[in-house]
Amino acid sequence: MKVFDSHAHLDDNRYDADREEVLERSLRELAGVINPGTDLADSKVAVELARRYDRVWAAVGFHPHEARLMQAGDEARLAELTGEQKVVAIGEIGLDYYYDHSPRDVQQAVLTRQLDLARQLSLPVIIHDRDAHGDIMAIIKREGKGLPGVFHCYSGSLEMAQELIKLGFYVSFGGPLTFGNAVKLQEIARKVPLERVLLETDSPYLTPHPLRGRRNEPMHVRLVAEALAQLRGLPVEAVAEVTTRNVEALFGLSVSQ
């Protein structure tokens, strides 16, 4: 079983010069890739890429940075995009209090609207959470109760991860798991049930060690899998098997071998 990159922004302009080559070499190595949208236009591009490549899937939604751009009627436009067979989630949605590119009250309102949309469409959610743990947990418990989903690029505590798992969520680890100073994150990765873990790159961002400083690519998710395998004392093949099956279970996929 190959590793699956559950979160990569293949539509990012840093791939404009060589996107096809990046995808071809990544898909030779991987079981597949999920490309989440960050606003309406970006979500449309994600859907188009999913149409063009067999093992690329899309999610659609408004990232908290772009929450201020969401207009009345955009839920219907996102819902229309989910009519595409390869749209597997609402995302990337959530809260980001580190940058505050959108006002916090707007972020919260837009997150709530999109959780409701996911429930109406019976789709899982891909959650972005940066420096907003308390508020996002309150909203998930209140507005997202019963929804399946994943907290991507997980940055909370072990206790929060355990609570999320009880709520039915997965947690996803990316490049930061390989960083030498990520002691807390590595301890969480050792302790959470492997059956609730996904792997990702968040490409083109968060490039894993020893490639930090370069543009990230989906194929580098193998380095994350190797780091997790080492932390847990498992063969990397076992980590690839379980985490790829987790992707299939959460997003309703069947990955061809």
pLDDT tens for each residue of 4-39: 999 999 999 999 999 999 999 999 999 999 999 999
The whole-angstrom separation of Cα 189 and Cα 177 is 8
257, pLDDT greater than 70: no
173, pLDDT greater than 80: yes
233, pLDDT greater than 90: yes
For the residues 204-222, what does the mean pLDDT come to? 97
For the residues 86-111, what does the mean pLDDT come to? 98
Strand-pair partners of 59: 36, 89
For the residues 77-102, what does the mean pLDDT come to? 97
127, pLDDT greater than 80: yes
> What pLDDT does 136 receive?
98
> What pLDDT does 133 receive?
98
Q: Which of 157, 80, 95 lies closest to 127, judged by CA?
A: 95
> Who contacts 85 (Cβ-Cβ below 8 Å, separation ≥6)?
none
The whole-angstrom separation of Cα 185 and Cα 86 is 32
> Who contacts 31 (Cβ-Cβ below 8 Å, separation ≥6)?
1, 2, 3, 4, 55, 240, 244, 247, 255
The whole-angstrom separation of Cα 151 and Cα 65 is 16
Count of CB atoms within 10 A of residue 100's CB?
14
Under CATH, domain 4-251 is a member of which superfamily?
Metal-dependent hydrolases (3.20.20.140)
Phi, psi of 230 (to 5 degrees): -65, -45
Q: How far is C-alpha 102 from the chain's CA centre?
A: 20
Q: Give the model confidence (pLDDT) of 111-122 as tens digits.
A: 999 999 999 999
Give the residue extent of every domain in the chain.
4-251
Residue-averaged pLDDT of the chain: 97
The whole-angstrom separation of Cα 61 and Cα 194 is 27
For the residues 83-91, what does the mean pLDDT come to? 96
256, pLDDT greater than 90: no
SS3 53: coil
For the residues 210-227, what does the mean pLDDT come to? 97
Predicted confidence band at 255 (pLDDT cuts at 50, 70, 90)? confident
The residue behind tokens 């997202």 is 144
For the residues 180-193, what does the mean pLDDT come to? 97
> What pLDDT does 1 receive?
85
